[in-house]
């Protein structure tokens, strides 16, 4: 099941968010992805629902629910992703611009 399908199939998690983070977005442009737009730092295929995190804060492969984005998996990192920051994947540059930079609530799923 893709992250998009999961977002439609499962309800919003209950309880307070695990983190309140600063979120940005990235897309599959070589200059935004260290040259290989379809492979993450842990070897996953990039796509909607794969997000970049600081693995010292959220371990790789952790399932997440992200306010305004949906269900995701922590499967990447980046040079600017340190501490309580998260970078969400979109397929187009226009989507990343529309998303912008914003505070966001993140739930770690069990």
> Considering the entire predicted model, what is its pTM?
0.83
Distance between CA atoms of residues 84 and 81, nearest Å: 8
**pLDDT tens, position by position, 13-26:** 888 889 999 999 99
Report the CATH number of the 3-10+17-108 domain.
2.40.40.10
In the predicted structure, residue 77 carries a pLDDT above the cut 80: yes
Joined together, the tokens standing for residue 97 give 């611009």
pLDDT tier at 10 (50, 70, 90 boundaries)?
Answer: low
Q: Where are the domains of the chain?
A: 3-10+17-108
In the predicted structure, residue 41 carries a pLDDT above the cut 80: yes
* pLDDT score recorded for residue 32: 66
């Amino acid at each position: 099941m893709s992250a998009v399908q999961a977002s439609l199939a499962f309800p919003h998690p209950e309880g307070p968010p695990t983190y309140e983070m600063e979120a940005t977005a990235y897309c599959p442009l070589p200059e935004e992805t260290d040259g290989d737009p379809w492979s993450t730092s842990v070897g996953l295929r990039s796509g909607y629902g794969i997000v970049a995190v600081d693995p010292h804060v959220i371990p790789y492969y952790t399932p997440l629910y992200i306010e305004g984005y949906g269900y995701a998996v922590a499967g990447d990192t980046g040079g600017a992703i340190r501490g309580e920051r998260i970078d969400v994947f979109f397929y187009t540059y226009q989507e990343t611009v529309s998303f912008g930079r914003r505070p966001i609530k993140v739930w770690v799923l069990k």
